[in-house]
Structure 1
Amino acid sequence: MGLSRGARTGSYVDLSKEATRPGQTGILDNGDAASDGTFKSKIICTLGPVSRTVEILEEMLRAGMSVARFNFSHGSHEYHQETLDNLRAACANTGIHCGVLLDTKGPEIRTGMLACGGPVMLEAGKEIVLTTDYEFKGSAEKLAVSYPDLAKDVKPGSKILCADGSVTFTVLECDVAKGEVRCRLENSAKLGERKNMNLPGVNVNLPTITEKDRHDLIEWGVKNNVDFIAASFVRKGSDVEYIRSVLGDFANKVSIISKVENMEGLDNYDDIVEKSDGVMVARGDLGMEIRMEQIFLAQKRMIKRCNYAGKPVVTATQMLESMTGAPRPTRAEATDVANAILDGTDAVMLSGETAAGNYAIDAVKCMASICREAEAYVDNVASYHQILEQQPIPMGVEESLASSAVRTAQK
């Protein structure tokens, strides 16, 4: 089960010509939509508590699920094995194929435990010390952080984000000898234990894969012959090569999808694309690393470069987030999904919407409808010519043959 959506790899949309086609006069005319309801984009669905029974999985497959994502940030091997067994039973019952994607937890930076055992109230304007002594039980005045090189890697003026960006620290002073960083709180917030932390713009010294990742890949991924591995926190091409070395012979049987989630990954993006089988635009952590107003630009350029390289690209995070608790998405979410298709993404991903939401099946159906509608307005001819311009001259035999096949299909 591949991720590429075949001929529809374009990133051009031309709405001006739609109303000029025979029989089309309205602004919403849709001349290119498939009459049989099919679509080429792939939908990746994260499986979780609400989407792991055979019956629900059968409905999700019929609704349009192409790939099932197993998120190893949560759950045991036994838990995921039961879900996978149910998925394969659902595929057998429906006759619908579905890819299996193992998403690694990856390396991470977290705050430590708190002396009070519960959340502490942080007040804007006050100072707080971050210590790399992870055994320290924290308070509103001092917090432990799991990253040993924190005091060495950040600088005065640097921003540190915590708890998915809900807390912002500004670095005032770094004491490398003590492993402490003195900061100012930029906003008030309640902070619990073991919250994630981001260091925007810092090339962090973290492993490519953790021991947990290695165990998950070898003891579950290889044994279950998964189709895709979504490698978290890929920062350079050599990270992908290292993951292949860990997988051994299985590396030739599985596709590695690199999740680009920080500035270092963006800086080395071309190298990552070259070494990977595909890329995931992981907008969650990436949105912590770059300015909010730059996310759209990063997404478009990342997708475009994958299109040029002929590598599948996945757009992920909060695509239909409101459908975790509502039967319909917001207008902004629907537009977000459609624009990702028009940008040229090959696959779109649902996370909490299908893993823990109240409307998992409806979310898949909604995603499928948006993909189908958006694909009708992709200008494949214009896209083909733009991609062709990026190919080296002279073209190889395979590239020339593929190019001729596309031209023939267009005519």
Structure 2
Amino acid sequence: MGSAASTRKNSGGAVAGTHVVSSATSRQEAPTVPGNLTLIDTAKVNSLQAAMQSKPTFKGSRTRVICTLGPASRSVEMIKKLLVAGMKIARFNFSHGTHEYHLETLTNLRAACEEVGYECGVLLDTKGPEVRTGFLKGHEAIMLEKGQDLTLTTDYEYEGDSTKIACSYPHLCRDVKIGTQVLCADGSITLEVKSVGDGEIVTEVLNSAKLGERKNMNLPGVQIDLPVITEKDKVDLVDFGLKHNVDFVAASFVQSAADVNLIRETLGGSDCSIKIISKIENQSGLNNFSEILEACDGIMIARGDLGMEIPMQKVFVAQKLMTHHCNMVGKPVITATQMLESMVVNPRPTRAEATDVANAVLDGTDCVMLSGETANGAHPEAAVTAMTDICAEAESCLNHYTVFKTIYENVEGVSIHESIASSAVRTSAKIGAAIIVVLAASGGTSQLIAKYRPEAAIVVGVVPLDKREALEFKGRGDPSKLVRQSFASRGLYPMVCDPADSTDDLIVQSMVWAKSKGLCVAGDKVVAVHRAQKTQVLVMKILSCPE
């Protein structure tokens, strides 16, 4: 288990921390490959024939699958199938349904988890601020013809017709200008502003279509002046989220760090254990992305509304840049919306959808999300299976060492803890370790290790609550909640350790558990990371998996 210490400097010249490098046989450096293949491991997939014959290393995927639970998937029996197929986080969409409805679904989820012996994170997705069209006379849809004028009024009591409809946004006349486009009903109808008056605007209809009442509206390029948390959201967060111990809140239409801070205060401030995921859905969210990312615990790339707020041909570059920035700071990123949309009806995804999912994995997403596919689709279990298989295939082709070097060489001024975390990943690659074991009480170290995307699985041994003080671990959070929240980061395999009197015993427990899950076999090399007792110093060890 011999090792030697060395130091590195970041690009600014300051010593960033200490590396521990094994003297064991080193893995060869990843070969230089063409730019469009830099993320593909050419040692594994060096030809089209080899690519067709390659198989994922692990059963399941390291990229986590989030499923929206709804009418098609909220029964105990179906939830059990989704868990077995690969669901790690369940999304509850609070744009629809009552608290009673969602509580019944949550009760079913927890019963299903108990029956199959799996943990599953719970994500509450807020409705958020929204702009909608108003009611219509007779509650009948109206026909809008290309080229006609349509007046929009901010008098939301007005019952509209084919010449004039209401809009719920009170600042409409202040915030739009001539030439501004207004999208209605998920972008199926486009209007263009011709004139702006007092309390109403006149628009031209750019395409013929039917419009029902209370349809969503988007104002691309306009910063919507509405609070990020509505009164409904406050009730949902406090009376459901806090009361029923959800793990994540996905906050809709976040436009600034102040929005994130307001949500955190609503949830109880710094004492809140719920992770806040900011949904980026408009231009303001993109403009303020850096401050939002710093303030929140993770990002959801909500491509549906985002694709109506910015030109659709720019969604891909926004997705890639947001994913990259999340990867650089080690915070989870979720790619969402229409990933396997055709599976709402069809039993197989389109080839474009499969490629979309795989490319999101190669780009560095931590989670991929299913919406209508599982909420009300005809094939919820098949959708999860397809998503898991696609993710696993993409991961099997990934050049993890190139990803590691990219992050390592572009991160400056890291803490000593992060330096040890990156050293553990580098060491695992050099010695061919099967797993990295990290003992956790708060999850910070395991997330730092996950940031560097090791090829080895990261086994998170959560220290039991009643042993943390004796073993001098600082975190005091619920162990089961830490397990569920770990699912937001790619590659983490969390488990709650049984009470033990030493860190060595906890590490052995973690290795035995990993072996039982097929992550390693007896004799495999293991890198272990934990805090030294009586200090806050991180220690890294190289071990062998026991018999």
TM-score normalised by length of structure 1: 0.93
1:286 counterpart = 2:306: yes
CA contact (8 A) 2:41 2:399 kept: no
Corresponding position of 2:50: 26
1:82: how far off? 0.6
What pairs with 1:92-171 in structure 2 (closer than 5 Å)?
Answer: 92-171=114-193
Name structure 2 gaps, 5 residues minimum.
Answer: 1-36, 431-547
1:38: how far off? 3.0
CA contact (8 A) 2:45 2:397 kept: no
Corresponding position of 1:6: none
State how far apart, in whole Å, the 2-side matches of 1:322 and 1:251 are.
42
**Corresponding residue SS for 1:240:** helix
* From 69, 77, 97, the counterpart of 1:55: 77
Partner amino acid, structure 1, of 2:416: V
Partner amino acid, structure 2, of 1:376: S
Partner amino acid, structure 2, of 1:13: L
1:96: how far off? 0.6
1:409 counterpart = 2:428: yes
**Corresponding residue SS for 1:26:** helix
**Corresponding residue SS for 1:28:** helix
1:246 counterpart = 2:258: no
Corresponding position of 2:200: 180
State how far apart, in whole Å, the 1-side matches of 2:195 and 2:272 are.
48
Corresponding position of 2:278: 258
* Cα-Cα RMSD: 1.5
Corresponding position of 1:196: 216
**Corresponding residue SS for 1:164:** coil
1:355: how far off? 0.5
**Corresponding residue SS for 1:400:** helix
Higher relative contact order, chain-length normalized (CA < 8 Å, sep 6+)? 1
CA contact (8 A) 1:12 1:378 kept: no
Corresponding position of 2:99: 77
State how far apart, in whole Å, the 1-side matches of 2:124 and 2:110 are.
15
TM-score normalised by length of structure 2: 0.70
Corresponding position of 1:229: 249
Extract structure 1 runs of 4+ deviating beyond 6 A. none
Greater strand share, structure number: 2
Distance 1:250 1:62, change over 3 A: farther
State how far apart, in whole Å, the 1-side matches of 2:150 and 2:398 are.
51
1:27: how far off? 3.8
CA contact (8 A) 1:222 1:250 kept: no
**Corresponding residue SS for 1:172:** strand
State how far apart, in whole Å, the 1-side matches of 2:306 and 2:199 are.
27
1:161: how far off? 0.5
Corresponding position of 1:391: 411
Corresponding position of 1:8: none
CA contact (8 A) 1:326 1:359 kept: yes
State how far apart, in whole Å, the 2-side matches of 1:323 and 1:398 are.
43
* From 97, 100, 109, the counterpart of 1:87: 109
1:386: how far off? 1.4
Partner amino acid, structure 1, of 2:76: V
**Corresponding residue SS for 1:18:** coil
CA contact (8 A) 2:354 2:390 kept: yes
1:390: how far off? 2.6
State how far apart, in whole Å, the 2-side matches of 1:93 and 1:201 are.
48
State how far apart, in whole Å, the 2-side matches of 1:204 and 1:249 are.
25
1:273 counterpart = 2:297: no
1:42 counterpart = 2:64: yes
CA contact (8 A) 2:340 2:349 kept: yes
Per-residue deviation, residues 5-54 of structure 1 (Å, max 9, x unmatched): xxxxxx95226443449xx95342326x21x4132110000000111111
State how far apart, in whole Å, the 2-side matches of 1:25 and 1:71 are.
43
Per-residue deviation, residues 89-121 of structure 1 (Å, max 9, x unmatched): 110111111000000000000000011320000
Residue identity over aligned pairs, in percent, reads 55
CA contact (8 A) 1:244 1:251 kept: no
State how far apart, in whole Å, the 1-side matches of 2:181 and 2:74 are.
40
Corresponding position of 1:14: 40
State how far apart, in whole Å, the 2-side matches of 1:19 and 1:92 are.
40
Distance 1:251 1:127, change over 3 A: farther
Corresponding position of 2:453: none
Per-residue deviation, residues 186-245 of structure 1 (Å, max 9, x unmatched): 000100000000000001101110000000000000011100000000001110001011
CA contact (8 A) 1:158 1:171 kept: yes
Partner amino acid, structure 1, of 2:153: T
CA contact (8 A) 1:160 1:168 kept: yes
Partner amino acid, structure 2, of 1:362: A
**Corresponding residue SS for 2:70:** coil
Deviates more, 1:367-376 or 1:250-259: 250-259
1:387: how far off? 1.1
Distance 1:250 1:224, change over 3 A: farther
State how far apart, in whole Å, the 1-side matches of 2:247 and 2:50 are.
43
* From 208, 218, 240, the counterpart of 2:228: 208
Distance 1:201 1:251, change over 3 A: farther
State how far apart, in whole Å, the 1-side matches of 2:409 and 2:267 are.
36
CA contact (8 A) 2:60 2:389 kept: no
* Matched residue count: 394
Partner amino acid, structure 1, of 2:391: C
Larger of the two Rg values belongs to structure: 2
CA contact (8 A) 2:257 2:291 kept: yes
Distance 1:342 1:230, change over 3 A: same
